[in-house]
Amino acid sequence: MKKNLFFAVSLVVYVSAHAQVTQINANKSLHGVIPLNSTLAIFESGVDSSIWVSDGTKANTIQISDTIKYIGGGALLNGKYIFKGKSPKCGKEIFITDGTKAGTTIIKDINPGIANSQPNATTMEMVNGYVYFAAVTTTQGCELWRTDGTPGNTTIVKDIGSLATSGIDSVHFSLGLVGNNILFTATTPENGNELWKTDGTTANTLELKDIVPSLSSSNPRFFYPFNNMALFMVNSADGNKGEIWRTDGTPGGTILIKNNIIPSFSLSSTVIIFHVFKGRAYFMIKDGVHSGDALYNTDAIDASTTHTTFLKDMGSSTFTGGALLADAFNLPNKFIFPYTNDGVSVFDLYQCDGTGAGTVVFKSFPPNTNSNIPIIYTNISFDKLSQTITYPLFKGKFYFSADDVTHGNELWMSDGSTATMLSDINSHGDGINDNLSFLFTSSTLFFAADDGTHGNELWKTDGTAVGTMMVQDIFPGSHNADPSLEFINNGKIFFTATDSDPADSSVTDLYVVDGIFSPLPVNLLDFTVSPKGADALLKWSTSQEINSRNFTIQSSNDAQHWNDIGTVSAMGNSSTQTNYSFIDAGVMNSGKSIVYYRLAETDIDGKMTYSNIVQLKINNTDKWNVQLYSNPIHDKVKLMLTGIQGSAVISINNINGQSLYETQIQNQNGFMTLPVNLRGGIYLLVVRTNNEVKTIKFVKE
């Protein structure tokens, strides 16, 4: 028996010690910008900002321009990537690439010569076949422009300022979407900095609402798509507090939702983080009434207590405020989020079912000297066709790092009822350190970990303790390879790490994990809905059934009140995948804008469980799709966007709510790396589209 055990252990060590990753580029510090298509992904060099593409092989990982440098921003449009770049021939301008050297070129020299037209910090937005962006010229100042990727159709939308006076702020300018209209902020001598909108024509580029009348400015910012509207933040009339407003794109539909928000530090650095659960947006603020962080939710109809509701006083907070809602994870009947009141005495996971009474501690962890906050390995999927947000479970569970003091900061898992530590990776310290990088595939969770012997290296798990192991010691010995997982494209897992050549750990190499991989599917019944003529087609599947009786299909107009609309008999007992479908007849002609669906699965013994909620958009607003894979980073912030039609705003905020970076994309699909340099710490990544928002907390080592 001992001999067999020794053989098994030796086999695990042998497999882990042999190469399971392939280096496809060395010493260029390549990090992912965005998947251009299903085969190629675009990368930027952290050494010299040069632009590269890769299909996951060394031979086809190539630099596509000798002179053009990537400076940020970007949007996919008609299979090409439009981005901000710079060249010694023209300065900072708008460029385009199809992934080839010949197809990587400037679109138009907007500010002729070597003068720059592109400010670094502004965002891009795509709608109706055009990418919108800010541009500076000597004759018109900084104004709103748009392009379809051709020189002739790269034009100013409107000269809002007088002559060379800028109508928009080149530093703090951001874009949003409501339907087919672009939201943005602009400044005029008469009204100050206020909310504007455009459909792309000069005539219809107008001030939407003078929120703070006269010369005072409301400074609208942080547009967050929600329920066919946009939530955003403004300054109060006295300039001392913040407010949450919403707009449907009309003056009458631009109204106050919550006022008297006390800034954590300065008003300009206060960011409201929203989390969407069952058709309501949740946020945490200092409201001046309750002693600490006040948790609210809203359906954005109005500011009344019926529609914008206080749920719970979370306690005094001097550390994170509501920022940790960025790391919330939805389950069928509740969502889980981390919370710490001051980073010293409370390190908890909370659960919320949408009520104050149902907002309680899910799992409490004792204070730890390293201030290790529980961090959920958030995996969120957006379905393009159905506009559905789902939170796929891995092996039926969600995963997070936490410190129980006895074992240090390690990897945990939970089915939503109980939580257990998956593996004590480092028996003498923290197995999960500040390099909190991870990526889910359909079969494996890859993550960064330190076992105390090999340094911080690439690990993987199949959801079991015995299946949790190091993939490879990339930087041999006790040195840290510090893997940063990027995304999956062309069946390859891309990640960066540093090896022993050179010894400078700030210079990284690009790797792929050997094998063919696919993203984690929606394992919570694989439940989707899509239009089929005048009907809605619902599909779901199970990988295993034990004593199941039937599925009851339920629909709702508000994700709160449910009606049974049909029943489908279940397989009963099965260990193989079983597929199901149901037709909701005529719903596309019902006049509704959104319909929500869920499944109630009933066992033979009468026990009932609910699926995740999916939604079907019936109106004709632009559709978009985003799938995020990597959360915490080593080098750059990397995310995956899939099937987006229209624009999305991507921003990074620090834990205190201050916006550090924002960019706008248009019709961009694939993986993307944000060109922002961050110090070690906790940050928030916010992805906003026309109707959905995703906010994720991550750690920069």
The pLDDT of residue 452: 95
Residue with structure tokens 């059934």? 545
Distance set, CA 628 to CA 46, 400, 499, 522, 524 (Å): 22, 16, 27, 13, 17
Please check whether residue 85 is in contact with residue 104, taking contact to mean a CB–CB distance below 8 angstroms.
no
Please check whether residue 698 is in contact with residue 637, taking contact to mean a CB–CB distance below 8 angstroms.
yes
Q: Is the model's pLDDT at 544 over the cut of 60?
A: no
The CATH number of the domain covering residues in 528-611: 2.60.40.10
Instruction: List, for residues 309-325, the tens digit of each pLDDT value.
Output: 999 998 876 545 577 88
Residue range 538-560: mean pLDDT, rounded: 76
Which H or E run contains 311? strand 308-313
Report phi then psi at 4, rounded to 5: -65, -40
Q: Is the model's pLDDT at 524 over the cut of 70?
A: no
d(CA 217, CA 98): 41
Residue range 476-502: mean pLDDT, rounded: 91
- Kindly state the DSSP code that residue 322 receives in the 8-state scheme: G
First vs last C-alpha separation in the chain? 43
The pLDDT of residue 641: 61
Q: How many CB atoms lie within 10 A of CB 634?
A: 28
Report phi then psi at 431, rounded to 5: -75, -30
Please check whether residue 177 is in contact with residue 125, taking contact to mean a CB–CB distance below 8 angstroms.
yes
At 239, the pLDDT band (50, 70, 90 cuts) reads confident
The pLDDT of residue 621: 41
Which range, of 118-132, 349-363, 476-490, 511-525, averages the lowest pLDDT?
511-525
Q: Is the model's pLDDT at 600 over the cut of 50?
A: yes
The pLDDT of residue 633: 65
Residue range 662-691: mean pLDDT, rounded: 70
The pLDDT of residue 596: 84
Report phi then psi at 662, rounded to 5: -150, 140
Which range, of 172-176, 299-303, 491-495, 659-663, averages the lowest pLDDT?
659-663
Q: Is the model's pLDDT at 127 over the cut of 50?
A: yes
The residue count of the chain comes to 701
At 591, the pLDDT band (50, 70, 90 cuts) reads confident
The pLDDT of residue 539: 86
The pLDDT of residue 9: 31
Which range, of 180-189, 330-339, 510-519, 686-695, averages the lowest pLDDT?
686-695
**What is the separation of C-alpha 410 from the centre of its chain, rounded to a whole number of angstroms?**
24
Please check whether residue 582 is in contact with residue 568, taking contact to mean a CB–CB distance below 8 angstroms.
yes
Which range, of 89-98, 315-324, 467-476, averages the lowest pLDDT?
315-324
Q: Is the model's pLDDT at 271 over the cut of 90?
A: no
- Kindly state the DSSP code that residue 605 receives in the 8-state scheme: T
Instruction: List, for residues 441-463, the tens digit of each pLDDT value.
Output: 888 999 999 999 999 999 999 99
Domain ranges (residues) in the chain: 528-611
At 506, the pLDDT band (50, 70, 90 cuts) reads confident
The pLDDT of residue 320: 58
d(CA 134, CA 123): 8
Which of 227-231, 317-321, 547-551 holds the top average pLDDT? Answer: 227-231
Please check whether residue 303 is in contact with residue 256, taking contact to mean a CB–CB distance below 8 angstroms.
yes
Q: Is the model's pLDDT at 289 over the cut of 70?
A: yes
User: Would strands 563-569 and 548-556 be described as parallel, antiparallel, or unpaired?
Assistant: antiparallel
The pLDDT of residue 480: 92
Q: Is the model's pLDDT at 125 over the cut of 90?
A: no
Distance set, CA 3 to CA 321, 433, 475 (Å): 55, 35, 31
Which H or E run contains 652? strand 647-654
The pLDDT of residue 7: 29
At 387, the pLDDT band (50, 70, 90 cuts) reads very low
Q: Is the model's pLDDT at 111 over the cut of 70?
A: yes
Mean pLDDT, the chain, as a whole number?
83
d(CA 659, CA 676): 12
d(CA 684, CA 271): 10
Which range, of 284-293, 303-312, 544-553, 636-645, averages the lowest pLDDT?
636-645
**What is the separation of C-alpha 94 from the centre of its chain, rounded to a whole number of angstroms?**
25
Q: Which residue has the higher pLDDT, 592 or 470?
A: 470
Which range, of 329-343, 392-406, 672-686, averages the lowest pLDDT?
672-686
* Cβ-based burial of 16 (10 A; exposed 0-12, middle 13-18, buried ≥19): middle
